[in-house]
Amino acid sequence: MSKTICLLVLTVAALAVAAKFPKWHELEGYTFEQYIADHNKVYSAEELLARKAAFENRLATVRAHNANPGFSWKRGINHMSDWTHEEKNSMKGYDKNIGHAMRTKRAKVVSNVPNKQEDSENATLPQYVDWRDLGVVTPVKDQGQCGSCWTFATAETAESHYAIATGHLGELSEQHVLDCVPNPLQCGGQGGCSGGTVELAYSNLLLPGTGGMVSEWTYPYRSYFGDAFQCSFNRSRTAVFANITGYVTLPTNKYKPLMIAVATLGPIAISVDASAWHDYESGVFNGCNQTNPDIDHAVQLVGYGTDEKLGDYWLVRNSWGPKWGEKGYIRIYRSDSEEGRCGEDITPRDGEGCADGPPQVEVCGTCGILFDSVYPTVSK
Ligand SMILES: *[C@@H]1O[C@H](CO)[C@@H](O)[C@H](O)[C@H]1NC(C)=O
Ligand SMILES: *[C@@H]1O[C@H](CO)[C@@H](O)[C@H](O)[C@H]1NC(C)=O
Ligand SMILES: *[C@@H]1O[C@H](CO)[C@@H](O)[C@H](O)[C@H]1NC(C)=O
Ligand SMILES: *[C@@H]1O[C@H](CO)[C@@H](O)[C@H](O)[C@H]1NC(C)=O
pLDDT the model gives residue 23 = 84
What is the C-alpha separation between 75 and 62, in angstroms, rounded?
5
3-379: CATH topology: Cathepsin B; Chain A (3.90.70)
What pTM did the predictor assign?
0.85
pLDDT the model gives residue 134 = 95
- Residue 115 pLDDT more than 50? no
Compute the distance from residue 233 Cα to the ligand 2 centre, in Å.
10
How much is the mean pLDDT over the chain? 83
Q: Of these residues, 97, 204, 253, 318, which one is catalytic?
A: 318
DSSP class of 328: T
Known catalytic residue at 318: yes
Per-residue model confidence as pLDDT tens digits over 302-338: 999 999 999 999 999 999 999 999 999 999 999 989 9
What is the C-alpha separation between 216 and 210, in angstroms, rounded?
16
The residue nearest atom 7 of ligand 2, judged by CA position, is: 236
What is the C-alpha separation between 92 and 367, in angstroms, rounded?
14
pLDDT the model gives residue 103 = 53
Query: Cβ neighbours of residue 211 under 8 Å, at least 6 residues apart?
Result: 205, 235, 240
**What's at 183, amino acid-wise?**
N
Known catalytic residue at 85: no
Known catalytic residue at 65: no
The residue nearest atom 4 of ligand 3, judged by CA position, is: 207
Per-residue model confidence as pLDDT tens digits over 84-108: 877 877 766 666 666 655 554 443 3
- Residue 69 pLDDT more than 50? yes
What is the C-alpha separation between 162 and 135, in angstroms, rounded?
12
